[in-house]
Structure 1
């Protein structure tokens, strides 16, 4: 993966003058979903999200999901759900009409030791019950799988897959190629992937933008997705944060909510807020 990005950056001139690709004009999926906005607002304001709501000011979940054109009757894969911040909202939004499926790392991709492999499988097995507990919706409304064992019936069945603050890890663990390939096979023809991730400065050195600090260059993500069979549909600044200089001592994890330096200069980092983030929507190329 690292070699691929270096080659792309060299041949496409990304090191010298990174330029974001222009979104392709797209109207095939832009019709207004009647009632979607109201249902999304109901999910966002649900009392079960009271502990999560403090992060809304940084993560703009309503605007982000609307930008990704997520509708409540869709089949949506959430890649690497982690602590469940987005899972709780997606479960509330999709749980009655749609399908939320947790998509977990391929445990045997080479990035994980045996203990972590077992943990990934356990997380996937527990995901439906976790979302049920968070939302009050029966667990059989939710599902999960690991990307080493995608059933044939799941391929070509997803309307959307969301990759939230995870591309940088795929790059630094050298598993982006295989994971994106698996997800591409799961999408319907014309299905879309929505990506949110920590954004490096356009002219950042590769060593500071290869995912190891948590940041990646937007132009590199766009080019990577294009090489892997996707077209850029649109890009948004809804999750931008101009206060983020991106050069923190412990990378992006210096900022909230991680606060890697704990109480050291905590007020300073709290004033910055969460990271500057790209928000990109890609369509599977047929």
Structure 2
């Protein structure tokens, strides 16, 4: 669903103009204030105890606010990795929402522990029979997660560059971009966070440094039909020159990253 944020100054001006015209102001469309404080319950979830050591760098409340996650949303965590974002979303969407946590076959083949980490991320959100409730695991080819229903939002964090790795089948980025577009409801959003490569690095930066060339990613996603709605400096770290591998001790955990919210047109 399309979401908008009320801006007090604009509302005050609208009221003033309405008063001058001696008419009632029009009813406001759906407006929601998104702030980190809104997601405190998700951040303090006991299932996230081990995640909290990463919170200073990964800014969970700010990420959820930027993604504009609402209770009742149906959200996909695309390339869930160790489950950091999955656990955040589990509480943020509330009892009426759903989270589909997708771990690609290609990742599990490369590192079998990813399957165990997916199981661990789902376990706190199961019923007494061990059946998933609210958070549902998905596996499959990276370009075919098999989302069971249309999604309000997809989040992919720190893994978008993996689409360009040499061991991925040819055409993977294009197929994934189209799949993500098709997975969303009209007006739905895609949130992408990734390590920035130096401008002009091209797709090679994904293999050499595990970083993403901003323009390559933007061209891919806008070519699939998305519109870039907002770019945040949430993870901006100018001291990183973007030329070292993300696993280099000099930048590990403190890379310069982009954060985008892209919209599928209504």
Q: TM-score, normalised by structure 2?
A: 0.74
How many equivalent pairs are there?
231
Q: Give a deviation string over 1:180-225, Cα, whole Å, max 9, x none.
A: 22222211011110000000122x4336534431111212211110
* Conserved? CA contact 2:161–2:212, under 8 Å: yes
Please, which of 222, 228, 233 is the counterpart of residue 224 of structure 2? 228
The runs of 5 or more residues in structure 1 that have no matched partner are 1-27, 256-268
Higher relative contact order (CA 8 A, sep 6+): 1
Change (3 A) 1:29 1:179: same
Whole-Å separation in 1 of the counterparts to 2:43 and 2:180: 27
Q: Counterpart in 2 of 1:185? A: 182
Whole-Å separation in 1 of the counterparts to 2:63 and 2:230: 12
Q: Counterpart in 2 of 1:30? A: 4
Whole-Å separation in 2 of the counterparts to 1:85 and 1:215: 19
Whole-Å separation in 2 of the counterparts to 1:246 and 1:37: 28
Whole-Å separation in 1 of the counterparts to 2:220 and 2:136: 29
Give the CA deviation at 1:72: 2.3
- The runs of 4+ residues in structure 1 deviating greater than 4 Å are 34-39, 117-125, 147-153
CA RMSD of aligned residues (A): 3.2
* Conserved? CA contact 2:36–2:64, under 8 Å: no
Q: Counterpart in 2 of 1:143? A: 136
1:101 aligned counterpart, secondary structure? strand
* Conserved? CA contact 2:177–2:220, under 8 Å: no
Q: TM-score, normalised by structure 1?
A: 0.69
2:237 aligned counterpart, secondary structure? coil
* Conserved? CA contact 1:147–1:182, under 8 Å: no
Please, which of 135, 143, 154 is the counterpart of residue 161 of structure 1? 154
* Conserved? CA contact 2:198–2:213, under 8 Å: yes
The runs of 5 or more residues in structure 2 that have no matched partner are 6-30
